Chain A
Amino acid sequence: MRPSAVRLLNILVPVKRAVDYAVKIRVNPQQTGIDLNVKHSMNPFDEIAVEEAVRLRERLKDAVKSIKVVTIGPPKASEVLRTALAMGADSAIHVELPESSPAPEPLGVAQALRAIIQREKESADVDLVIMGKQAIDDDAGQTGQMLAGLLGWGQATFASKVDVDTGAKTAVVMREIDGGSEEIRCKLPLVVTTDLRLNEPRYASLPNIMKAKKKTIEKLTAADLSVDFTPRLETLKVTEPPTRVGGGKVESVDELVAKLKEAGFTAV
């Protein structure tokens, strides 16, 4: 057997274009969804994923061979790819969906990501997928786990710290769990999903934004990947949550304590 060269890491970072986290959303009058004519940006958890990939390269230097970002969405979703490229990703794939098509479900997205990973195999195996733990629009939090399941890979969800050992092809990951945290050791290839605490994403500098314009975005369609994005679940309606009416203010601590006692909240 000839000695194999040290394998270099190829990282794939799926990102999603979502309504900006600061926007106060409004349900549309037809109750089919929300008004989408508002500011969009990269899902915050995905920004953290891109940042982590770039930091891995900064830490591991040449051991990281490529950072590829991918998005699945309407034509405008390419904006978030440009953002990711400006943050330091090398190249991008846009699986373009028609403007009018319904938002794909996590299972469809996971299937598409699997197909992309299999497609990438021809040039380079993906060793690490880093993605957000949830999208702040559908709040499902499923795609990473589904992808790991489909590939039969290990998964490290809700990661707050990731240490990759390129030699051993393992990663030690700190995960946020209910009541605290836990540390696990995972073999590569691996799917990591990011918690907010993993890092603080950088702002892309103007030169990097300019450079990002020269990086390539490969366009694919659902047909190229042989994936059917038709939702399996039927969304019957989207409604406003019951509005809560504030009860007004009190003037003093005495009044506040009186209100508490009135409601039955006394010292135990």
Chain B
Amino acid sequence: MFLRPRTASSFRAFLRAYSSAPSPHALVFLEHRQGVIDSASLSALTAAQQLGGEVTGLVVGAPEHLPGVVQQAKKLKGVTSLLHSTSAQYSEPTAETLSLLLEKILSESSPFTHVVSAHTASAKSLLPRVAARLDLPAVSDITSLEHDSAANSTTFTRPIYAGNAIATVRAPSSIRIKFFTVRSTAFSAAPSTETEAEDKAIDPVEVNDPPTEHLKTLLTKSDRPDLGVASRVVSGGRALKNAETFESTLYPLADVLGAAVGASRAAVDAGYADNSLQVGQTGKVVAPELYMAFGISGAIQHLAGMKDSKLIVAVNKDPDAPIFQVADVGLVADLFEVVPEMVKKLKE
């Protein structure tokens, strides 16, 4: 093969591969809530595997949750080894505390070439902080990636301008560790396997007198599927009038379909639905099999959060509503008549 003519650039790449380029080794921050690993983290794990190298998982937590999480994490497909650390301070970990642990793990002698997490509220708070402390940039909310081992560069695509443009960015070899967060709807969740990866405990970095202190968490309780991962979503907008009609109209349909409930910003701002249900550029990005939009006009910011759904159904009184431009099935009608009829007919 050495006799084959090659271009200067591929020869350079070859040399570099031969001399120094490390094979990729990703550190994936696996999040869990009350001992159950987040499905968004499972998608981040799938993305990390696409780098084509080793994948080390990292889990942290309070002593009462961690052993169970370690057991789950060790069995995840693609995890070649697992680091874990436990401390009472990791029960409700803050970015300020966790960043010190990550800095320790990512010290100069560490083998890691990439740091990966889901694009969740907690990881969005943590990863940029760590990256900056290591004088490294970060790439947010990626939807695809490709690693060039020879050049030691990774190329990502990510949506910008509320998903109205797609940027292709390359993290070159000069970036020692490439930090990125993963849009979970763009990657399938890594499954569990029977085999177990090796695990290793890391001492926590206890912080005396941390700058922030967790006081309380208020979670929105719901028996419905989680909005971020539901395969079906029923969503409502300003046309739902108030919180009572929002619930009484949409919830029966969501229950019939086994769907999660979402809302436009207008509906959230008006107090019809909880903040955590907001779909859009500044809320959740969802890509379910079925997305049903009731009384949602389809502003750019809302479309940013749902236009990758497989089947979009829109019901709106206004035939010119922009939502109809993306809907696979549209119906111009009064949602207050349509929804009960749908519930009835779906039950038949």
A157: which B residues are within 8 A, CB to CB? 95, 121, 124-125
A222 close to B (CB within 8 Å): no
- B164's partner among A24, A134, A195, A255 (CB-CB below 8 A) is A24
A209 close to B (CB within 8 Å): no
Query: Please, how many residues of chain A have a CB less than 8 angstroms from a CB on the other chain?
Result: 82
A207 close to B (CB within 8 Å): no
Q: How far is the CA of A247 from the CA of B325 in the complex (A)?
A: 8
The minimal Cβ–Cβ distance linking A249 to chain B, given in whole angstroms, is 4
User: With A146-B128, A149-B133, A237-B168 as given contacts, are A139 and B162 in contact (CB-CB < 8 Å)?
Assistant: yes
User: With A180-B276, A181-B275 as given contacts, are A240 and B165 in contact (CB-CB < 8 Å)?
Assistant: yes
User: With A140-B140, A233-B137, A241-B165 as given contacts, are A154 and B212 in contact (CB-CB < 8 Å)?
Assistant: yes
A154: which B residues are within 8 A, CB to CB? 96, 210-212
Q: How far is the CA of A263 from the CA of B328 in the complex (A)?
A: 11
Q: How far is the CA of A136 from the CA of B216 in the complex (A)?
A: 30
The minimal Cβ–Cβ distance linking B295 to chain A, given in whole angstroms, is 15
A196: which B residues are within 8 A, CB to CB? 265, 282
Q: Give B157-195 as 1s and 0s: 1 = Cβ < 8 Å from A's Cβ atoms.
A: 011111111111111101100000000000000000000
Q: Give A139-156 as 1s and 0s: 1 = Cβ < 8 Å from B's Cβ atoms.
A: 111110111111001111
B35 close to A (CB within 8 Å): no
B130 close to A (CB within 8 Å): yes
Q: How far is the CA of A186 from the CA of B139 in the complex (A)?
A: 27
Interface residues on B, range: 35 or more
User: With A146-B131, A180-B220, A250-B329 as given contacts, are A257 and B121 in contact (CB-CB < 8 Å)?
Assistant: no
Residue of A nearest to B255 (CB): A268
User: With A249-B330, A267-B257 as given contacts, are A105 and B345 in contact (CB-CB < 8 Å)?
Assistant: no
- Starting from the known contacts A146-B131, A147-B132, A183-B218, 9 additional A-B residue pairs (CB-CB under 8 Å) come to A24-B164, A107-B137, A158-B121, A176-B121, A177-B121, A236-B170, A238-B167, A257-B346, A259-B329
